[in-house]
């Protein structure tokens, strides 16, 4: 498969390294103008699947341009969820296949399921409260992380008490129905997410810690293989389902 990369930063470089090392696919990097993000569409012509790891400011323009060229797309960029209805429309009208995910690493996707299951179990006991924390490198442009939002969604969907997500600083007591999920930015951490179920007697912590960007990049390549030749909108959950995990 010919893979074309939009974005040649931390993630683009890691995907390029893995694809070249495996020799299973070919990979090229698409030129983009700074800061407009205007794409060199000539570079898209031979691509079978485009993988986007850019930034929230330009990702919608990327999706429109790639769809106009009729190419299937993996969107790893986060921080654009409010545009999902528009993306659904673009995918429907252009007839392309598009897959997106807040976190493409297998470990994080198992972490989401572990958090959902633990939330259900702890919900049966009123003594346990729950909160979350995420840490990312100083260069990350969106906050809270897409992974934190997805983790919070798993808690809100499965908790008997938590109904609202609060991500900012609190100058007051947290309300029982609020899930507080805090973000810290600094250093070089590629991604740490932690959920704590806390009670007067004990605490249970579930965390996902990325050692580097390899897991995200491997997942992006799996997503590219999945979306090749398909039409419609998919998420990384569809890749997990294809591997027998609900």
Ligand X SMILES: NC(=O)c1ccc[n+]([C@@H]2O[C@H](COP(=O)([O-])OP(=O)(O)OC[C@H]3O[C@@H](n4cnc5c(N)ncnc54)[C@H](OP(=O)(O)O)[C@@H]3O)[C@@H](O)[C@H]2O)c1
Among 45, 137, 140, 169, the active-site one is: 140
CB 178 within 8 A of CB 130: no
Is residue 218 within 8 Å of residue 11, measured between CB atoms? no
Choose between 20 and 137: whose C-beta lies nearer to ligand X. Answer: 137
Please say which residue, 37 or 97, places its beta carbon nearer to ligand X.
37
Cβ neighbours of 225 (radius 10 Å): 16
Nearer to ligand X, 62 or 129 (CB): 62
Q: To 5 degrees, how large is the angle CA 81–CA 86–CA 88? A: 90
Which residue sits closest to ligand X, CB atoms considered?
9
Calculate ∠ Cα 45-49-50, nearest 5°.
80
Distance of closest approach, residue 77 Cβ to ligand X, in angstroms: 4
C-beta of 7 vs 129, nearer to ligand X = 7
d(CA 91, CA 60): 12
| Catalytic residue flag (residue 140) | yes
Q: How far is the CB of 141 from ligand X (least distance, A)?
A: 6
Are 71 and 47 a contacting pair, CB within 8 Å? yes
Q: Which of 71, 136, 162, 180 is catalytic?
A: 136
Residue 105 φ/ψ, nearest 5 degrees: -80, 140
**Residues of the shown chain interacting with ligand X in the complex, contacts defined by CB under 6 A:** 7-12, 32, 34-35, 37, 53-55, 57-58, 76-79, 101-104, 139-140, 142, 216
Q: How far is the CB of 197 from ligand X (least distance, A)?
A: 25
Shortest separation between residue 207's beta carbon and ligand X, angstroms: 17
Q: Which residues contact 242 (CB under 8 A, 6 or more apart)?
A: 226
Q: Which residues of 31-48 are buried (b: 16+ CB within 10 A; e: fewer)?
A: ebeeeebebeeebbeebb
Output the smallest distance, CB 201 to ligand X, in A: 36
Asked if 37 contacts 61 with a C-beta cutoff of 8 angstroms, the reply is yes
- The smaller minimum CB distance to ligand X, of residues 58 and 195, is found at 58
H helices of 23-129, in order, are: 59-68, 84-94, 106-122
Catalytic residue set = 136, 140
């Amino acid at each position: 498969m010919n893979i074309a990369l939009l974005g040649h930063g931390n993630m683009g470089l890691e995907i390029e390294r893995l694809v070249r090392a495996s020799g299973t696919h070919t990979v090229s990097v698409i030129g983009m103008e700074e800061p407009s993000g205007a794409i060199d569409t000539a570079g898209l012509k031979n691509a079978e699947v485009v993988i986007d790891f850019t930034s929230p400011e330009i990702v919608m323009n990327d999706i429109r341009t790639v769809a106009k060229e009729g190419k299937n797309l993996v969107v790893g960029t986060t921080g654009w969820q409010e545009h999902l209805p528009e993306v659904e429309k673009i995918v429907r009208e252009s007839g392309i296949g598009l897959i997106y995910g807040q976190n493409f690493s297998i470990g994080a996707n198992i972490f989401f399921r572990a958090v959902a299951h633990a939330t259900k179990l702890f919900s049966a006991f009123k003594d346990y409260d729950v909160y979350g924390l995420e840490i990312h490198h100083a260069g990350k442009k969106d906050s809270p992380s897409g992974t934190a939002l997805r983790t919070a969604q798993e808690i809100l969907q499965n908790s008997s008490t938590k109904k609202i997500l609060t991500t900012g600083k609190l100058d007051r007591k947290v309300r029982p129905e609020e899930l507080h999920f805090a973000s810290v930015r600094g250093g070089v951490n590629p991604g740490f997410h932690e959920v704590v179920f806390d009670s007067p007697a004990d605490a249970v912590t579930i965390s996902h810690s990325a050692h580097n960007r390899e897991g995200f990049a491997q997942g992006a390549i799996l997503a590219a293989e999945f979306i090749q030749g398909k039409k419609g909108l998919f998420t990384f959950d569809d890749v997990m389902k294809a591997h027998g995990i609900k």
